[in-house]
């Protein structure tokens, strides 16, 4: 079942933070924690899964951190949602074979249809779209302010 959990929200915010605040160096998880207020234990778990599923790249070392694995216009919010849904282990009531005839034949199909519509909409929204919204909202990108073009 598709629901907006804390993990889901944190994962979307973390990817958006990496995309929006990226500079020449990878974005460190402590910076994401500072800016977004995401508890470190949630954040690290989500970031590792996002790396495993090809949304982020983890860079090791003292100046390591995270980068997007592909252009931000090529990462949809649905991509992130699918990763988090795999992480969440709670049972999906839609998949439960028991229940009333009305529930099984009427309510659950409606819910499945709504979930499909939501995922379709999320598929059409890219990380780039949200970065543009952040820019229009006047949120300052730390990555852009820290860029140094001197040689």
pLDDT attached to residue 59: 94
Tell whether 119 is covered by a domain: no
**Does 76 map to a domain?**
yes
Residue 53 domain flag: yes
pLDDT of residue 40: 86
Q: The domain spanning residue 79 has which CATH number? A: 1.10.10.10
Spatial contact of 67 and 57, defined as CB atoms under 8 Å apart: yes
- Output the pLDDT for position 76: 98
Per DSSP, the residues of 25-84 read: SPBPHHHHHHHH---HHHHHHHHHHHHHTTSEEEE-STT-EEEESS-GGG-BHHHHHHHH
- How far apart are alpha carbons 124 and 57 in whole angstroms? 23
Q: What is the DSSP string of 76-106?
A: BHHHHHHHHHHH--S--GGG---S-HHIIII
At 132-145, the pLDDT tens digits run: 999 999 999 887 66
Q: What is the pTM of this model?
A: 0.85
114 in a structural domain: no
In a domain, 86, yes or no: yes
Q: Which domain holds residue 42?
A: 6-91+126-145
Q: What is the average pLDDT across 23-48?
A: 90
33 within a domain of the structure (yes/no): yes
Judged against a pLDDT cut of 70, whether residue 49 lies above it is answered with: yes
Give CA separation, 127 vs 16, 74, 96, in Å: 6, 8, 34
Tell whether 100 is covered by a domain.
Answer: no
Give how far the C-alpha of residue 21 lies from the chain's centroid of Cα atoms, to the nearest Å.
15
Domain total for the chain? Answer: 1
């Amino acid at each position: 079942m598709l629901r907006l959990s804390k993990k889901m929200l944190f994962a979307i915010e973390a990817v958006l933070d990496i995309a929006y605040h990226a500079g020449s160096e990878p974005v460190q998880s402590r910076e994401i924690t500072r800016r977004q207020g995401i508890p470190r234990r949630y954040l690290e778990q989500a970031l590792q899964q996002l790396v495993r599923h090809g949304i982020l790249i983890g860079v090791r070392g003292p100046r390591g951190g995270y980068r997007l694995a592909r252009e931000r216009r090529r990462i949809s919010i649905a991509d992130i949602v699918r990763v988090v849904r795999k992480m969440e282990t709670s049972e999906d009531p839609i998949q439960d074979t028991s229940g009333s005839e009305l529930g099984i034949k009427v309510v659950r199909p409606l819910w499945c249809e709504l979930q499909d519509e939501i995922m379709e909409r999320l598929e059409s929204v890219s990380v780039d779209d949200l970065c543009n919204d952040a820019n229009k909202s006047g949120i300052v990108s730390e990555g852009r302010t820290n860029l140094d073009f001197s040689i």
